[in-house]
Structure 1
Amino acid sequence: MNDELSEKTLIVIIGPTASGKTAAAIQLAHHYKTDILSADSRQFYQEMSIGTAKPSKQELAAAKHFFINNLSITENYTAWDYEVQALELLNKLFDKHNYVILAGGSGLFIKAVCEGFDEFPDMRPGLKEKLNLEFEEKGIADLQQRLKIADPVYYEQVDLNNPQRLIRAIEVFESTGKPFSSFRKLNVNKRPFRVVKLGLNLPREKLYQQINYRVDEMVKNGLIEEVKSLLAYRHLNALNTVGYSELFNYFDEQIDLDRAIELIKQNTRRFAKRQITWFGRDKEIIWMRPDNKDLIAEMVSAIK
């Protein structure tokens, strides 16, 4: 980076799903004439579009986005990978811009860019393979219960439908005797740019209405067909997520379609609640209402 490092600012737009982050990020990108990095861990995948609420073609054309459609569901990708790639990209973007935007709802990936991770000690050999086998035999509920006992803090933050995240946390606990969460908040790695975190949220009832409406729109726009096209890949980690898992159960004839759609809404609302809990612990976030007609002016004022 150049000598103006102290002037470089990463604007982080944070919030639960369906809170209006994409629209706000695009408007802010226009204001600062800059680019957007996505911090949504499911929008990385090319094959998953409708169920991940990716920005539309028009939205992607309205501002330059990175980390959308950059991976295949067959690729393994971690928050550590994202940290390395995002920091390399920011290094280049800050040569052209004083402001860059990071927008998304994946708390772990936002933490990766803003703070980084402490180094984990070596894991017990063979433990990950053992945990994966136990997951295949006993299912995700067993992992969830084990994590709840081992690390109640992380249990409240993690995507409970993501078995690999659960396995990773249990692996750390069983290898070290210390909860995964204790390794994730020791030291903040100093970044060569200023970070301003802007949070978007609505009153719960209104947010839940937005979520329900969004799910209905996804169904209208072809979500069922998208999930059907991915049935052969359902074992992959990327597809262990809300909006896909429920419809896989529908295709297995375990539940009917109406129930699957209702479960998507319910599980998305629960996911939003966990996001709010995660972000609520970060005292650096400046919270705003996305339905404020002067939102962009409010954001710009907070960034100065």
Structure 2
Amino acid sequence: MEQQHPLLVVLGPTASGKTKLAVRLADALQGELISADSRQVFKDMDIGTGKDLEEYQINGKQIPYHLINIREAGGKYNVNEFKEDFYQIFETLTAKKILPILCGGTGMYMHSIFQDHEYTAIPVNEALRAELRLKDIEGLRTLLKTYPPELTRHADLSSFKRLIRAIEIAEYLSHHELVAVKRPSIQPFVVGLTSEVGLRRKKILRRLDDRLKEGMVEEVKGLLEKGVDPEVLTFYGLEYKFIVAYLSGTLNEAELKLQLGTAICQFAKRQMTFFRKMEKDGVDIHWFDTDQDPDQLFAQVLDAYMQHKAV
């Protein structure tokens, strides 16, 4: 039987305290953090992505972290690149008997590890996507049926976006052979952080205020002055999208705070929806309430992980 390698995972919506908890766990368990955040990979995007790098210092020592500040701002990074980078780091840490702790809020990145679908390696076909966007959802379903069943078994018919991806995959597989990559066997223990919605909203808005005071607008202004395309910053979404609009005069300061606060709360809700979908797909998430005392939360999570490890 193939050896299974442990992976501790801390996931949750924005402003749930994932990093603080993960760092404490890394300190207690001699682990290192692997970030699962689609925007923290970019340099000079610190306040806007909530990197909170000072949180990686604990009890006088620096907890090592990975997949933060590995790309230049203005670039792109996708789920398949994340997978490749994750497995390289995971295997290095495992060989050194160091516990990898995956921490973040980008559910799609985490799910790619739990499910390890080789289809994430299939590239985007922009020309095909442009054609498919002209069809309605029934037209996409009809088109998908024209491909051999063995190429469409993976398909999720529930949304327009997923149908387009399913057709893109089927079209690619019609002309290319996909070579399966051998991956290490992972035994994850997944910690999910949750909160009462009203309290989560308060935390998000308080954190937004803090980040604006810390210079988030100036950070975005600096990126634009360095030559980062405003369209690319808008593509990064949330803070970058709204601050670019503010700097261009489309929003005033009050509108920026109100609209961005609302958008981040909506984003947190979508993150929770995705985590629940992961559970439906078979990911076992152990949920913990972040509205309690942080020391109590840490003790509960550490105890649950140690019990899991002992089994």
Normalised-by-shorter TM-score class:
0.7 to 0.9
Q: CA deviation at 1:62?
A: 3.2
Please give the alpha-carbon distance, in whole angstroms, between the structure 1 residues aligned to 2:127 and 2:278: 35
Greater strand content:
2
**Counterpart residue number, 1:127:** 128
Q: 1:102 to 1:250 in 2, by over 3 A?
A: same
Say whether 1:302 aligns with 2:304.
yes
Q: Is the 8 A contact 2:38 2:77 kept in 1?
A: no
**Counterpart residue number, 1:255:** 251
Say whether 1:269 aligns with 2:284.
no
TM-score computed with the length of structure 2 as normaliser: 0.75
**Counterpart residue number, 2:216:** 223
Q: Is the 8 A contact 1:50 1:223 kept in 2?
A: yes
SS at match of 1:197: strand
Residues 156-195 of structure 1 aligned to structure 2 (within 5 Å): 169=162, 171-173=164-166, 175=168, 191-195=184-188
Q: CA deviation at 1:98?
A: 5.2
**Counterpart residue number, 1:80:** 80
**Counterpart residue number, 2:54:** 57
**Structure 1 counterpart of 2:30, one-letter code:** K
Say whether 1:242 aligns with 2:234.
no
TM-score computed with the length of structure 1 as normaliser: 0.77
Q: Is the 8 A contact 1:107 1:278 kept in 2?
A: yes
**Counterpart residue number, 2:27:** 30
User: Which has more radius of gyration?
Assistant: 2
Q: 1:9 to 1:227 in 2, by over 3 A?
A: same
Which runs of 5 or more structure 2 residues have no equivalent in the other structure? 142-155, 172-181
Say what the alpha-carbon RMSD is for the aligned residues. Answer: 3.3
Please give the alpha-carbon distance, in whole angstroms, between the structure 2 residues aligned to 1:33 and 1:122: 37
Q: CA deviation at 1:301?
A: 2.3
**Counterpart residue number, 1:45:** 42
SS at match of 1:75: coil
Amino-acid identity (%): 24
Q: Cα deviation per residue 1:85-137 (whole Å; 9 max; x = unaligned)? A: 11111111011235220000000111122222242778768325x47xx9xxx
Which runs of 5 or more structure 1 residues have no equivalent in the other structure? 135-141, 156-165, 179-188
SS at match of 1:282: helix
Q: Is the 8 A contact 2:35 2:68 kept in 1?
A: yes
Count of residue pairs the alignment pairs up: 268
Please give the alpha-carbon distance, in whole angstroms, between the structure 1 residues aligned to 2:39 and 2:126: 29
**Counterpart residue number, 1:96:** 96
SS at match of 2:24: helix
Q: CA deviation at 1:239?
A: 4.6
Q: Cα deviation per residue 1:253-303 (whole Å; 9 max; x = unaligned)? A: 112111012111110000000001111233310000123432222112222
Please give the alpha-carbon distance, in whole angstroms, between the structure 2 residues aligned to 1:80 and 1:203: 33
Q: Cα deviation per residue 1:55-101 (whole Å; 9 max; x = unaligned)? A: 23352563111011111123332110110111111111011235220
SS at match of 2:287: strand
Please give the alpha-carbon distance, in whole angstroms, between the structure 1 residues aligned to 2:211 and 2:255: 15
**Counterpart residue number, 2:196:** 203
Please give the alpha-carbon distance, in whole angstroms, between the structure 1 residues aligned to 2:206 and 2:103: 22
